[in-house]
Amino acid sequence: MTRTDSRLPAADWAMLLTALCVDSPAWIGTVGEPRHLTAVTPTRFPWLRGLLWRPAGDSFGVALLDLAEPGTMPASAWEPLVGPLEPGRATREGPTLVGRHEPAGTGRRATLTLVTDGHAAGTRAHVVSVRIRVEPA
């Protein structure tokens, strides 16, 4: 992907979010030894090196993604999957945008926090990291 590439592998992302919502990260990669945050690496997707994951269980789960090429995709590329992005809380890593996705039949919602490089305004900024929170819908 080049820095101006705005194509998002939507089917891959939908599979990733569904796998996280049903606590089945083995769908997308090799699950390591269970820990507070369990490593899932390598993954089946070339754009994702791996992730740290905690299952939702009866409350909420989290996933911290390690993108293969951070900063190459504008945040707007996620909007077809997660709907309009809203400004989130700024972090030490950079400004954030937030979107949500509810995979059908899971009973859960994934909230994606996209940390951007801040070099452009709003959804034109490029995503450098992604955090996902999974909770009951």
Is 1 inside a domain boundary? Answer: no
Q: What is the pLDDT of residue 119?
A: 85
3-state secondary structure 28-88: CEEECCCCCCEEEEEECCCCEEEEEEECCCCCCEEEEEEECCCCCCEHHHHHHHHCCCEEC
Quote the pTM value: 0.91
Is 15 inside a domain boundary? Answer: yes
Q: What is the pLDDT of residue 118?
A: 87
Is 17 inside a domain boundary? Answer: yes
Is 3 inside a domain boundary? Answer: no
pLDDT of 131 > 90? The answer is yes
Mean pLDDT of the chain: 92
Could you tell me which residues are beta bridge partners of residue 133? Answer: 62, 111
Is 40 inside a domain boundary? Answer: yes
pLDDT digits (tens, 9 = 90+) for 92-122: 999 999 999 999 999 999 999 999 998 888 8
Is 93 inside a domain boundary? Answer: yes
- How many domains, in total, are found in the chain? 1
Q: Which domain holds residue 103?
A: 10-136
Q: What is the pLDDT of residue 6?
A: 52
pLDDT digits (tens, 9 = 90+) for 4-19: 445 789 899 999 999 9
